Structures are given as structure tokens and as C-alpha cells.
């Protein structure tokens, strides 16, 4: 599917029309924050923080940050009141400010811990490869690997995960993830969030990762799916870089407030 640059306010106005309200769901890494070699380094940019605050304060929005990060890691990185936080690709989420865990993920915590120990043992000699324990999932980072390829790391993780019923491995940007085998992903999160807003509201999803494709596919033709960057995608629109995201978010405010 072609994806057209979101070059000006006219394109956004034409796509969203006279929407009485917006569900705005946003990825974190590569969208609200620049990608960094160190997974602990990313911070939301000031421009994006201001835009998210303004959107969250608007009476006709529901704003959600939907990330692969653990909820306990995600919330302080954004730290904007009135935002719905969704971590671990939807396996953790906030409801009335309280943390909730998908029941199937809760049931696999012991398996995740056992697989983490096995993966760490097998990757111990791979310099620059880091296993991040996110409690309900694992993320193996190889962006800084010096002596291992993506194929090497993926093979190790898949070999450790395959014998364990109820867990699966998947890939993202310079990572391999381990998570429960459950039909729950960023697209399911978007559908869940839709139930909390009026049917007449439109939805916007902005993200850069391959895991955001499920969310793009969950949107209707009258919604706005925006890829950050350049690659094959289910999104109809794009911005060329993370630095352009704040301009897009501010234009959404213009749609809500009208001419």
C-alpha cells in the first residue's frame, strides 16, 4: 500500500474531516523519543511532551501511549497526566491509573523467568547483547552487538523458546522479543481503546516499528495511520523522521479546534 507524506494541515483535515473527537495512540521509541543505541537512554522530546500535554488536556480526546516497554519504565519517561499508558504491547495497561496485566500473561510469568535464565546463559559470551526482563515479556537487544548477527541472536532465542508451550519469539527493530502466545497486540489495544470513546470519534495511530503494523491494520479508512520513517507499511501516511512528529500532533489540535 502506498503511504503519502503528511505534508500539511490540509491532508490531515481532509482525512479526519469534522471529527467530533479523536483517539490518539502513539508509540514511544522512534515516535515520541528518538531511537538510541542504549535502550535506557531515550527520552520524550520537549516538543512532543508539550504536544501530548495539549492533546491530553483537550476535552475531545483520549490519548494513549502504546509501547513495547514495560509499564513501569514507560510511565516515568512520558509522565503526562491524563494519558492512558499501555506497556508490553498491550499485556500491561492502566485503568483509572492502576496497573492491570492480561490474565494469560500473568499465567506465564514463571515460564518467562525460566526462559530468561536459559537465554542469558546461552548469550553470555555475546558481547553487546542485552536481555531486558520486562516481567511479562523479554526483549533481547543486539543493536550494540560486536560479534553476533541478528540471525545468530534470533536463532539462540528461538531455540530456547520453541520447547516452551505458551511462549513465542518475534522480531522488531534490532531486537528479538519473547512473549506469551496470546492474540493480543497493538491492534487489539486500538480496538479495546475504541470501546472507550464515542463511535463518531476518529482514531489516529503514529508509530515507527514493525509491531505498530497491527495497529495500522486495525484502523478504519476514515482514521489516520501514520508511519514514522520509510519502509513497506499498512499505514496510508507517513512523516519522514521522528523530528516531525510534534508538528503532526499539533496539527491534530488544529483539526479538533477547527478554523
Starting at the edge strand found earlier in the chain, the sheet holding 175-180 runs: 130-133, 138-141, 175-180, 167-172
Q: 127: helix, coil or strand?
A: coil
Q: Which residues have a Cβ under 8 Å from the Cβ of 190 and sit 6 or more positions away?
A: 23, 25, 66, 203, 205, 215, 218, 219
Cell numbers that stand for 98 in this block: 492502576
Is 27 a residue of the active site?
yes
Q: Which of 27, 29, 209, 223 is catalytic?
A: 27
- What residues pair up with 227 in beta bridges, in sequence order? 207, 238
Phi, psi of 45 (to 5 degrees): -70, 155
SS3 of the chain: helix, strand, coil, percent, to 5: 35, 25, 40
Q: How far is CA 67 from CA 32, 40, 52, 93, in A?
A: 10, 14, 15, 10
Cα 21 from Cα 225, distance rounded (Å): 16
Distance of CA 145 to the CA centre of its chain: 23
Q: Is there a contact between 91 and 102 (Cβ–Cβ < 8 Å)?
A: yes
The residues carrying an active-site annotation are 27
Amino acid at each position: 500500500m502506498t503511504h503519502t507524506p503528511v505534508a500539511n494541515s490540509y491532508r490531515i483535515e481532509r482525512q479526519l474531516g469534522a471529527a467530533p473527537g479523536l483517539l490518539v495512540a502513539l508509540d514511544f521509541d522512534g515516535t515520541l523519543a528518538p531511537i538510541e543505541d542504549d535502550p535506557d537512554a531515550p527520552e520524550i522530546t520537549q516538543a512532543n511532551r508539550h504536544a501530548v500535554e495539549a492533546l491530553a488536556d483537550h476535552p475531545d480526546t483520549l490519548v494513549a501511549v502504546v509501547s513495547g516497554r514495560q509499564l513501569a519504565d514507560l510511565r516515568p519517561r512520558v509522565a503526562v497526566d491524563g494519558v492512558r499508558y499501555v506497556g508490553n504491547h498491550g499485556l500491561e495497561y492502566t485503568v483509572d491509573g492502576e496497573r492491570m496485566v492480561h490474565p494469560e500473561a500473568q499465567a506465564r510469568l514463571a515460564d518467562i523467568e525460566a526462559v530468561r535464565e536459559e537465554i542469558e546463559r546461552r548469550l553470555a559470551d555475546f558481547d553487546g547483547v542485552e536481555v531486558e526482563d520486562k516481567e511479562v515479556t523479554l526483549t533481547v537487544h543486539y543493536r550494540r552487538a560486536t560479534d553476533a548477527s541478528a540471525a545468530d541472536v534470533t536463532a539462540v532465542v528461538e531455540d530456547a523458546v520453541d520447547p516452551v508451550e505458551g511462549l513465542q519469539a518475534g522480531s522488531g527493530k534490532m531486537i528479538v522479543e519473547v512473549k506469551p502466545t496470546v492474540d493480543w497486540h497493538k491492534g487489539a489495544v486500538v480496538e479495546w481503546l475504541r470501546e472507550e470513546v464515542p463511535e463518531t470519534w476518529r482514531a489516529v495511530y503514529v508509530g515507527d516499528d514493525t509491531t505498530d503494523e497491527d495497529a495500522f491494520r486495525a484502523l478504519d479508512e476514515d482514521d489516520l495511520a501514520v508511519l514514522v520513517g520509510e519502509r513497506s507499511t499498512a499505514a496510508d501516511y507517513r512523516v519522514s523522521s521522528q523530528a516531525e512528529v510534534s508538528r503532526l500532533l499539533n496539527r491534530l489540535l488544529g483539526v479538533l479546534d477547527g478554523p
